[in-house]
Amino acid sequence: MVVSHLPSGFLLILSLFAVLVSGSRRTLPIIPFDEGYTQLFGDDNLVIHKDGKKVHLSLDERTGSGFVSQDLYLHGYFSASIKLPADYTAGVVVAFYMSNGDMFEKNHDEIDFEFLGNIRGKDWRIQTNIYGNGSTNVGREERYSLWFDPSDDFHQYSILWTDSQIIFYVDNVPIREVKRTVSMGGDFPSKSMSLYATIWDGSDWATNGGKYRVNYKYAPYVTEFSDFVLHGCAVDPIEQISKCDMAQSSQAIPTGVNPLQRIKMDNFRTKYMTYSYCYDKARYKVPPSECVINHQEAERLKSFDPVTFGGGRRHRGKHHRRSRSSHAEAISI
């Protein structure tokens, strides 16, 4: 196979996919914090541990905190292990995301992992979201529960971004796949972005639409990050020119989630997805054009929330909350 005429960025993606699909994600280099990131805000609310491989961010009444990648990237695989705050975390938002909002104020791109805190006794929730070319008028949110308590220990959260698809992973399990379609046009993220991590006060919306706010009696809220992976195509911020080295691999690779991964993803989504914009009939009378409707997902969400997903009246009834042990058993993947 002759590949010398292909752009270096495309070759990097081929090489990247070959690594990922082979199941060798752990072979990607883990870098010290100072090699890939710099502090964004928060003064001494960001603390780098002595080994340089772990960072904690905290939120108190004075400020939140955050960091940002030193480079811009156009496509790649980006990952960190994260441990979230415990106990009462209503209104607290921890985010691990890509954005170019500082460069493109009115037409920015964004790929988000957002962790939405909760009142004591209720699970943390994950939200993923995607914006392209400033398409914030169409929220592409999905929300999920988890099969573990993310405040007990570190878990890996990862984003794979190519010119044709975006995949979100939790502990190497794909939980969401977004394929680029012609109908999306510029709504698919296509400009170089930085990687961010932040903790901040989202009282106005994060927990039950703002019903429960951050209670600073429980501050500081501390989240920890480690196992940093920035495996992508770095871009010159001024000239927007790729600095990728020529990739050597010419191995043929699959073009999407492989069959085993798809089983795992479908299993996760069946058990733990609690919201998807594609099925939100209160917001969209007709699903956005890129949505691929899964009728099993549609029926499950409709039974979960008939007002949002079915357009009917909400029936009052008892909701039986599954135990954490049943979560662990159900997601044996």
- 35, 61, 105, 110: the catalytic one is 110
Q: Which of 35, 61, 105, 114 is catalytic?
A: 114
For 311, list phi and psi in degrees, rounded to 5: 80, 10
Query: Among this protein's residues, is 299 annotated catalytic?
Result: no
Tokens of 48: 């780098």
pLDDT one-digit tens code per residue, 209-268 = 899 999 999 999 999 999 999 988 898 777 666 666 434 333 333 346 889 999 999 999
- When the pLDDT of each residue in the chain is averaged and rounded to a whole number, the result is 84
Q: What is the pTM of this model?
A: 0.84
Report all structural domains of the chain as residue ranges with CATH numbers, in order of start: 33-255 (2.60.120.200)
Residue with token string 């997601």: 331
Strand partners, 178: 166
**What average pLDDT does the segment 283-292 reach?**
90
CA distance 178 to 129: 10
> How do residues 288-315 score in pLDDT, each as one tens digit?
988 989 998 999 999 889 999 986 655 4
Using pLDDT thresholds of 50, 70 and 90, give the confidence band for residue 186: confident
Q: Is the pLDDT of residue 326 over 90?
A: no
Helix orientation angle between 259-272 and 295-304, rounded to the nearest 10 degrees: 20
- Closest Cα to residue 40, out of 243, 225, 188? 225
Tell me the per-residue pLDDT of 129-174, one tens digit each, with 9 for 90 and over.
999 999 888 889 999 999 999 999 999 999 999 999 999 999 999 9
> What backbone phi and psi angles, to 5 degrees, belong to 113?
-105, 120
Please say if 110 is a catalytic residue. yes
